[in-house]
Structure 1
Amino acid sequence: MRPLRITMEGFASFTDRTVIDLTDVDLFALEGRTGAGKSSVIDAITFALYGRAHRYDARQVSPLLSQSCGTGFVALEFSVGDTVWRAVRVLARTKTSANTKEARLERVREDGSGKVEAASPRSVTDRVGEILGLDFDQFCKVVVLPQGAFAEFLRSTGKERADLLVEILGVDIYRVMGSAARVRNKAAQGRVDIAHARLEPLEGATPEAIKAVHAEIKGYEAADGLLAEAADDLDAIKARGTVAAQERDTATADVDAVAALAIPAGVGTLAAEAAAAKDRIGVADKARREAVAASDALESALAGMPALDRMQRVVDLRAGYQRMVEQGVALKGKAETAAQEADNAQMALDEAERVVVEAREAHEVLRATGHAHRLLAGLHAGDDCPTCQRPLDTDPAVPADDEIAAAAKLLADAEQARKAASAGRDTKVREHAALGARLTAARDEAMRAKTDVAEAEEAIPAPLRDDPGALSAALTERRAAQQQWEAARGRVRQADAALDRARSDAETLNESLASAWKAIDAARDTVSRLGAPALAREDLGADWKMLLDWAGEIMPVLTATKAAAEAKIDKVSQEYRARRQRLVEDLSAIGIHLRTDIKEDPAAAVSRVRTDAAGRIARLRADAERAEALREEVTDAQSDVELTKEVGDLLASKGFERWLIDRVVARLVVTASARLKELSGGQYSLTTDDAGEFAVIDHVNADSVRTAKSLSGGETFLTALALALALSDHVAAHSTQGTKIEALILDEGFGTLDADTLDTVAVAIEELGQSGKQVGIISHVRELTERIPHRILVTRGHDGSKATMQPSALQAA
């Protein structure tokens, strides 16, 4: 993993858009004062990848959003092998805090565009973890090396070293594993107990129990003969019972049919009501003919009168023409007044222009006089005139400046008055023109109205045209006649409605009478098989009385027949119950008992007990199989109990953690020794003494062994750096993907080192930068950063932090 480009805006102290391009940069330094924003660059890398910064709690996002910004974003382009990725996260402020509004991870194509592979904060973090094989904590330990901690680690005691390794390597995972093993042990023991509990009720599923059920089934074979014999007897009894039931049903139907005979209400008056309805039709028809005759007479009278709408049109047009004439007279007066006002306005304008001319002439005279007199200023009587060269008779008089100013003001006032008079004249001229146009339009409209009146008068009789009184009387007479005719038409409609109602009532009564005859016919049909008398069909009421008298005579005979049939059914039912009871007793004798909670058929009982026995055999066999499976489950669960107990007991021991830490230290010494030898040009290598403390072998001085506490500042830095790199490689090697980490950022307190030690540190960092890794340091020590090929200067002002690539002293040389 190698960072290529960091883009920030509205992030931490970087308010404006800032781009740090690390493409083709192997060794760089983040330089700046304390608080300038150097650590925010590292926060941008971890936030783009994992959505959090090491300095803040995982849920704290608001400190990463610039205080003056509502939104902010970070984009990190990085390479893994030959693949380039782009991680982007966007911050947004909420009412009380801030959150990650948007996140995406893109695979960058050759043309710079991106293919989105994750599009939510959680999915981006998970995908980054898959690509790098490192979680957030592992990434911070592998890429950002806490060098100060490793200098302490180098000189620490065994317990301090173990505590630091537990924190950095996450060795406490084995404690978690031990706890998990003990939890699984309890779960496995629970499975054993549950299996035993489930096995206990299955102990009765044995081969002997299955044989006993088979013997029980064999004893049911006699039931088939008992069922067959009883079926023949019961079928014969049922046949007799069916005949008796048919006789009972026929008798019941006859009794019910005769009992249902009843005369409907109102049958006796239907004929009289139908005759009365026929009479009402005649009366209504006569009234309608009289109303139609009266309406026709009025309509004929109307036809001989002038048309109502034509007379009304003449009256309306004459009134409209009169209104137009009156409006024209009024407009003419207004137009004459406007013309007079326009003439007065023109006269006022002429007067204003005259005043302007006089004021301008007076002003020009005073200006000219004042100019000439200024040439004579300072001269007195007897002095030569500068114009004619002759002596002056008297002292020259020079007009005062305030006289010229007063003349200028009079001119300005006159011009302003002329402008106002001109505007007033224009307004009056426009008003006069508008009134003239309205008067012309009114006259034209009045002429058209007069023509319309003449045309409308042609449509009415001549006597009415010249006599308004006659026209008004004719109009009143025509309206009265119209109202009389409309009233007559209303009486015709009322007569039509009355006739329709009379006909409808008569039709309804006739239908009711026909229905009443159909009803008595239907009633007789229901009892005709019993010898009901024929209907005379002359008097509906008399026919109903005859039918009901016959019903009273035959009802006792029908009732007696029904009672005899019911007695016969009772006798057959007793025989059937006795034969069925004998069958039930025979089945009970061979162990087949009918259910008492429901009425169960004997054949169904035989089928039930056989099915039940077969089911018991199937259940016994299934129980036997389940019992065998549970015994195997107990065996497997017991194995888990023993295994998890052993693992839990082992990981619960402090000796395991010490053993693991010792193995890690041994591997670190081997890897760090190789690194130290490489960084020191073969002079030093790392080992441990008999007490398990770190020591350095000085190969230049006869392989002398020196304790870590005796090392100089430069030697301590080289040794601590070698240990840090070894631990970084160890963490990366144990990641899920084994991704090669090609970037390291050294956050060391370089400010406390002397000049010789700084030189040693600089040489070591330069050699580390040539090892194929991208190496960055965070420092404000100028003597060290000037030796780095690429310097990123981080500054902070009132508008936020800036990061600019600065040429180093090496590049300048």
Structure 2
Amino acid sequence: MRLHRLEVTAFGPYPDREVVDFDRLGMDGLFLLHGDTGAGKTTLLDAVAFALFGVVPGARGDAKRLRCELADADTATEVVLELTVQGKRLRLSRSPAYERPKRNGTGFTTRPAKAWLTWLGDAPTGQSADGITRIDEVSRTVGRLLGLNAEQFFQVVLLPQGEFARFLRAETAEREQLLERLFGTWRFGEVERWFRERRVERKHVLDERRHTLREWAARIGQVAGEEPPDQADDDWVAGLRERAARARDVAEEAERKAQRARANAETELLQGRELAEKARRVRVATEALRAVTEQGPERGRWAAELAAARRAAPVAEAAGLADRLAERAKQALAAERVLARKLKEPDTPAAELRSRAGALREQAGGLAGLVAEAEQQDGDRARLGELERAAKEALARAAQLGRTLSELPARTEEVRGKLAASATAGARLDGTRAREAELAGLLTEARRLPEVERAASDAAELLSKAVDAHQAARAHLLDVRERRLRGMAAELAEGLAHGFACPVCGSEDHPAPARPGLEQIGDAEERAAEQAEHVARQDRETAAAAAKEADTRLVTLRELLAGRTAEQLDTELGKVRAELAALAEVAAEHEWHEMRLRELAAEADSLSDQRTDAERAAATAATERRNLEQVVTERTVRLDKARGSYPDVAARRAHLLEQAVALEELAEARADRAHAEQRLTEQREAVDAAVARAQFRTLKRALSAMRSEEEVAELEARIAEADQAEAAARAVLGEPELFGITGDEVVDVDAAAAAAERAREHAESAVAEHRAATALAAELDRLAKRWAAARAALEPIEAEVAELDALTDVVNGRGQNVRRMSLRSYVLAARLEEVAQAATIRLRVMSQGRYTFVHSDAAGARGTRGGLGLDVLDDYTGTVRPAKTLSGGESFLASLALALGLADVVAAETGSAQLDTLFIDEGFGTLDSQTLDTVMNVLDELRAGGRVVGLVSHVEELRQRIPTRLRVRKARTGSSLELVA
């Protein structure tokens, strides 16, 4: 980075435009900003910092008062800096935010901060050739080009007054804060925090695993019915499992014995029940066989009746069919007579009737095509009406669309007016918002007015008290001086000695020296009175400045408000906000109006197309109606001829078909009647033959022997039941297993059942106990496996947490970390060691080989962390001593060397752009001539390396040593710059 040109206008103490040509100043690589104290030398460095970053270094940046108070109201505060960074030349322009008087009316208005970046040449890749105007984007671009933030730049390029002397003597914590800002070691702090959070997280996991293990122990104890010990272990779990296994084996043996007893009792019960059942079966079979034998005569009657019914069944069936055929012949004859009377055809044969019906059908078939035409005629006539209606509707539709189209221009103009109104409202929004912001700021200031008035009143009261105190102290000082003057002779006499000359008269004889009085005042009393008067005067000046500042704030605030109260401003602000809301509402409809305008244009096009379509549809319908009317007229002539005396052709055809159907039905009825009479004669002959085959004398006897299906089924069931009962009884009595059983045996089944029940209950109890013991052992085995798994999962976590705990302590400067240095402090110590090495090279030159920086990483007092100690080795004495013991000039040399070393290390660490310009602010007044020569030699080395070094000092001797300088002179109305070559 190399600076070329700086322009300041109404900035700091400079009311007008001032220009500094760094190219001309730095032709020899070294120049001087020279001037009296307060002349504004440091302000030029502030201007460079403000142009680059928008802030100024040190405490001056907190004041935020960069505008010159003596500048004309119409002169804008601005800083312009031209420089070259990474081969790109650019111009930076910045203006701070400040208040200026309103051009119209009274009060002040706030001028916002602004920034511009302009490329003087080709813009970098990805950057606009038009430059940058956003403040945040300008700052980011400058930081990216320089590779330094504002804090680092102030320490590396602008070496400010006293900063490194303070760093040299700082305590560990303060030095750590500065180094951390410069080297950005926050990421190592993040590592420390990550370790701490990781430890907490893993300890939480460990606690959860331990809690899980305790839960499994509690579950095992609950299942085993035993309270777990405080420190449950594998031996306790193994003991529970062993006792459960023994209990399971005992229960298993008891179950086996109970099952054997149960089996024996059930066998005895089964044998008793089998014997009792055999005796019962023999008794039942014997009684059944006796009953069947007694039923023999009745079974014979059932068999005869069943045989006669079976022989009569075919006869009854044939007789029933004959009765049905007789009824059918009767019905056919009646139907024939009805149709014959209807057609008046009493005797016409069926063949002739069918021939006449065929002729009628042929005639009806000839009319089928004309029936279709008649149906088409009706449809066409309906179509004629539809076409007439469609033509009328299309013409009405076209007329309606025409009327709608004629209304669209007026609607379009209305929307265009609303669109213009919304555009106007949008244009007024910014101005109204600015007015709202201005009124809101004024309202805030108006509400502060009582507080500012109280502050001004309090400051005036304090000033009055300070004036009274100062006047009292001054009166006391004058009184002390007067009393001392009165006793001055005695004070001089105290210093006289025989043989030594009097400082007043020169005589060596002192015949009558004055003696001190009772109210003798000495030098100590006078100095105390002077100190008291000085303190009182400073208090008075401080109070006067505070009162003036409070009055200025009050006057400024009153001028700003211009007599308006907070209530008035609040009312005005409400009106402006209401206006702003109304404007915003109207402006928000701009896009909607634009869309509505587009919709109206589209609607006009659509309506025009629809009207054309309606007119075309009306013409088409009229043409189609004329053509169809001609077709209908021609078809009417043909249909009238075909229908004859009937209403229409379909009615004539239907009549012909009806006559044909009636003739065909009569022919069918006569054929059916003849066929039915023939079938009846044949069936009566079949009935007589069936009676003879069934061996009945007459049909009447055969029908009397007939039985219904239910009666036949009942007879068959009785006979079959008797046969089955006899066969079953004989089968039971013939079974081999019943051999020797008489049916008279007696067995006590109840006693055997009671014994078996008792054995069953004992066996079930043993089974339950065995199952419970088995389940308990299995559950303990399952829980033991879960216990073992939890133990196995816990051990690596415990080892990990132990290792992580120790490592976290080391990283955070505790535990086994004997130096008590955290990781961040360790990195900063390494950086400080690099700084000390770089600074030592220059310090040894400037101190003529006497001093060397010594970095110490030892822990502090009472175990506090260390690593950032910085002492000096004095080669004259061979001892290492604190940097605080250096004299004023030595402190400046050490501070300058440290600043230059730190600048080199920071530049290398951040990878920033090559820094070709360096400023050193003050401190040279503490050096003697010889040391100043040495320091200038070191600065010459910097210049020889291609840098331009600017010194800021009021030391007169530097004016003689540096040929190129910028003289800064005070002026009553401000400061002026004079470039001296």
Q: What TM-score, normalized to structure 1?
A: 0.40
Q: What TM-score, normalized to structure 2?
A: 0.34
